[in-house]
Amino acid sequence: MIQRTPARIEAHLSDHEHRSWQQLLSESVTSPAELLRRLDLPDDPWLSGARQGHRLFPIRVPEPFLARMEKGNPADPLLRQVLPLADETADVPGFVSDPLQEAGAIPTTGLIRKYRSRALLMVTGQCAINCRYCFRRHFPYDEQRLSPEDRQRVIDTLVASPEVNEVILSGGDPLAVNDRLLAQWATAISGIPHIRRLRLHTRLPVVIPQRVCDELLKWLSTTPLQVVIVLHINHPAEIDTPTRRALGYLRAAGATLLNQSVILRGVNDQASVLEALSETLFDAGVLPYYLHAFDPVAGAHHYDVTDQEAKELVRELLGRLPGFLVPKLVREEPGKDGKTPINLFP
């Protein structure tokens, strides 16, 4: 049994921090017009394009994340990640609905096997926030909904796969699921002898820090599995005081915190921004892990940054930061045994 210090949340909250994470999730902004109104942005020229993009991939922005955006600034790096644009309707060669070819890597409902030693479990199709650049924005989540029988088949498949030593809870966002079900998954997975680690890929502690509640911390603190939480933070402005506090609770519960970012045009495609992101992450107890080259998903070509530009940025980071704060520049390629490092010095 891994010994951890049980973490308990103290009440030092104000404004929307008093509301539960479920309430905040249910109150997310889901209308382009409402998002523009809240940020003091004019309908012209933004609303028409926002509605076009929204029809293809619905908008969802929770209040705690929205509150960090600069009003009146259409180029705000947090807003740019969630505001639909007319660009999303363009059909651009090479940008496809399933850029990582995940549809062919599903041995049983809800389970993706792309790598030998890791299995990815699609706990839910729901996210707290709909990032416009998401490589799964076209994923057929309805086809991967897990019934009780499906859940048992997932466990049976894992039991019969001794090469798997790590299960990744993903989605959607696994923390959009209630803690009772997550605790059941953790208990079932921890009973498989060859599985050592449980990894969660999540954005919820960032976009709704209140998600890090006592119920979550209880099962994280008591599972015998090693817990790794991989956050998804692209810009230093995403990390505010409530987020830092939530991340501290996760560390106290025994979780290792890593971060993966996506290189995004107009969001973090400057060395100064990536430098500040790494420093801010580490100050918050999170280690920069991956910087992903952009996945060519249909509807998101306007975020694309070329590999050459990305390499130049990371080379500049090597001169600005200690090596442990420089994330690995990688690309995920279908059929490969793992992430493909992008060579910085050919």
CB–CB of 287/328 below 8 Å? no
- Which residues have CB under 8 Å from 84's CB, separation 6+? 32, 49, 50, 51, 52, 53, 54, 56, 57, 59, 132
Answer whether 288's CB lies under 8 Å from 327's CB: yes
Neighbours of 308 (CB within 10 A): 9
**What does the alpha-carbon distance between residue 125 and residue 105 come to, in Å, rounded to a whole number?**
17
Q: 222-234 pLDDT, tens per residue?
A: 999 999 999 999 9
Q: Quick one: average pLDDT of 288-293?
A: 97
236 upstream amide cis, omega within 30 of 0: no
pLDDT tens per residue, range 67-91? 999 999 999 999 999 999 999 999 9
Q: How many CB atoms lie within 10 A of CB 212?
A: 26
pLDDT at 13 over 60: no
pLDDT at 158 exceeding the cut of 80: yes
Higher pLDDT, 149 or 140: 149
Tell me if the pTM is above 0.85: yes
How many Å separate Cα 246 from the centre of its chain? 16
